[in-house]
Amino acid sequence: MHLTKFTDYSLRTLVYLGEHPDELITIKEISDYYCIVHSHLTKVVHLLSTSGYVHGVRGRNGGIRLAKPPQDIMIGAVVRATEENPFVLECFDPKKQFCRLLPGCKLKNGINAAYKAFFSVLDNVSLKDVIRTPGSAQ
């Protein structure tokens, strides 16, 4: 499965915030740290905010921080929230079922099982599981 840069940037943002729990972090700080274009990261943070993962504080000394404890942010849910197209193959989309193999296709069942396994693993990984603790190797 291929994850978009948007999802990658979302996960990086959450990791960065999780590693700085007592600070308000600016988008510029994260953008500079990961070398991500500021405007792209602004869109990422907006989605993370509307999805309830990030809380923003406006103003001169504002910034962002996690809206929930890291152990309550499951990576599978974040990936689902940030991926625009949840369909691994065209035939998974109910609006695009034009494949000639579809009636009785065994490939779809295997891909579907792998897709479910992928999310089954990510649904059991929290942000807390992936953030580095102070003093750990960089």
Tell me what the mean pLDDT of segment 118-135 comes to: 89
Domain boundaries of the chain, sorted by first residue: 5-130
Q: What is the pLDDT of residue 101?
A: 66
CA 83 – CA 138 distance, rounded (Å): 28
Q: What confidence tens digit (pLDDT) does each residue in 75-93 have?
A: 999 999 998 776 666 667 6
The residues, any chain, with a CB within 8 Å of residue 85's CB and separated by 6 or more, are none
**Buried b or exposed e, range 102-121, using 16+ CB within 10 angstroms:** eeeeeebeebeeebeeebee
For the CA atoms of 21, 23, 29, 34, what is the dihedral angle to 10 degrees?
-10
Instruction: Give per-residue pLDDT as tens, 36-62.
Output: 999 999 999 999 999 999 999 888 888
Please tell me the predicted confidence (pLDDT) of residue 111: 81
Give the C-alpha separation, 90 to 97, whole Å.
Answer: 7
pLDDT at 137: 52
Q: By the 8 A CB rule, do 13 and 41 touch?
A: yes
Query: Does residue 20 register a pLDDT over 80?
Result: yes
Helix/strand/coil for 77:
helix
pLDDT at residue 110, as a whole number: 83
Q: How does residue 5 score in pLDDT terms, banded at 50, 70 and 90?
A: very high
Beta-carbon contacts of 54 under 8 Å, excluding residues fewer than 6 positions away, are: 13, 14, 17, 45, 48, 64, 65, 66, 67
Assigned CATH topology for domain 5-130: Arc Repressor Mutant, subunit A (1.10.10)
CB 52 within 8 A of CB 82: no
Give the pLDDT confidence score for residue 107 in this predicted structure: 79
What is d(CA 138, CA 134) in angstroms, rounded to the nearest whole number?
A: 9
